[in-house]
Amino acid sequence: MTVDKMERKRSTEMERYYVYGCREYGVLRTAPDSYSYGLYGVSGPTYGNPLVEYAAGAIEKQGANSANQGSIDDIFEDRLDLIRSKIDLILIQLEQRKNIHHEVTYRIERDCCRAYDLLFAWGTEIYRVDRDRLKIERMKFDLEQQKRRERTDYFNDTSLLNRELREALIQYQEEVQKNRMISGMEVSP
């Protein structure tokens, strides 16, 4: 059986039984990293990392523009570029944290669906109370606890990044006002 057929088979098994809370995760989707033969393949630490790509691009851009130093307008423009870069990096971090949150939530929901699948596979024996049923109920409870913890962690992480973003935007507006004031003084002597 090929990997493609296994994916389709897993997908149809996943769709057979799912509860309302698992509806959006009922169909398997492709993960950013490869999954084959039961193992997750992880790409290198810098491949596809927007922060590294942005930093490398900014360093190259800074090297090309380093000869244009001199006037006070250039100094303010460099300062504005620095603050814009800081804002862009914070936005990239927010986007990455959102993607991580969605991936973790997706995996928790998928595991929750598998627990429900195990229960529904018992058919009429679903109402019996034994050791296996209690293990599955405990697993469902733990997964819900993980989901709540992930939501809390996501809120804490994004609130810190949002505070940094707000401070950077205020700093940017202050620099723009200073630039306007200085350029207004230079124009009207």
The reply to whether 69 falls in a domain is yes
pLDDT beyond 70 at 86:
yes
Is residue 112 situated within a structural domain?
yes
- Domain presence at residue 144: yes
More confident residue, 122 or 167: 167
Residue 61 is given by DSSP the state H
**What is the domain range of residue 111?**
48-187
Better pLDDT: 86 or 64: 86
Please report whether residue 125 resides in a domain. yes
pLDDT score at 128: 77
Does any domain span residue 9? no
Q: What is the DSSP letter of 69?
A: -
- Kindly list the distances between the CA atom of residue 29 and the CA atoms of 20, 32, 99, 107, 110, in Å, as whole numbers in the listed order: 18, 10, 14, 11, 11
Domain count, the chain: 1
Q: Inform me whether the pLDDT recorded for 46 exceeds 50.
A: no
Residues 93, 159 contacting (CB under 8 angstroms): no
pLDDT above 70: residue 66: no
Q: Compute the residue count for the chain.
A: 189
Does any domain span residue 41?
no
Q: What is the mean pLDDT of the chain?
A: 73
| Model pTM score | 0.60
Residue 184 confidence (pLDDT) above 80: no
| Window from 17-26, 48-57, 114-123 with minimum mean pLDDT | 17-26
